Structure 1
C-alpha cells in the first residue's frame, strides 16, 4: 500500500514539474499549432475548390475547341504557364521551383507567429488530418 502511494506521489510530482517547465512552450506551440492546422485545412479546401474550377474550365475550353468554337494554341499556353511557374529562371519546372514556392509560402504564413515550429507541426498535422 505504501509503495503504491509513493509511486503516485512521484508520478504527480513529475507531472507537476513537467507542467511547470513546459507550460509556456506548450502554450505557444498550442496556439501556433492551432493556427497551422487551421491554415492547412483552409489551404486544402481552397486547393480542392481551385483545382475543380481549373479542371472544369479546361474541360470547357477543350470541348469548345473540339467543336471549333475556339482555337487554342497549347504551345503558347504551355510556354506562358512555364514562365509564370519557373521561380529559378532556369527554363524548366523542377523540384527547385517547388521548394522556392514552398519556402516563400511558409515564410509568409509563419510571419509574426509566436512559434514557427509549432505552426509548422500544426500545418503538417492539418494536412494529414483534414
Structure 2
C-alpha cells in the first residue's frame, strides 16, 4: 500500500518539526535520560553527570525543557536556596519513547562508525 507523504510535515506548524526543534540539540535528550535514570537531581549533581556541559548551557537547556513541560523545577526557600529538577509526567512519557532510540543507537553505533569511515 503506497501512502502519500503527509504534507503537514513540511509546514512550519508541524508538531514533529516543532518538538524536534526543541529537543534535538546537543544536550536536551541527555538531560532527560539522566533525570529519568537518577530521579530528582540538584543542578550541581546534574552537571556532574554531564561533565562537558557548561553551567550556562545546562541552565538554558533546563529552562527550555521546563518551558515545554518536560522538566519540573522545584525551589525550596532555605538558606542557601535549594533547587531540584525532575521529570514531569509528560517528560516520563517522552523518555519512554526515547529509550527505543537509545537502544537502537547503542546496538548500531559500531556499524554507523564503520560506514562513516567508508564514506571518507
TM-score above 0.5, yes or no: no
Between Structure 1 and Structure 2, which shows a larger proportion of helix residues? 1
Which of the pair has more CA radius of gyration? Answer: 1
TM-score between both structures, scaled by the size of structure 2 = 0.25
Higher relative contact order (CA 8 A, sep 6+): 1
TM-score between both structures, scaled by the size of structure 1 = 0.23
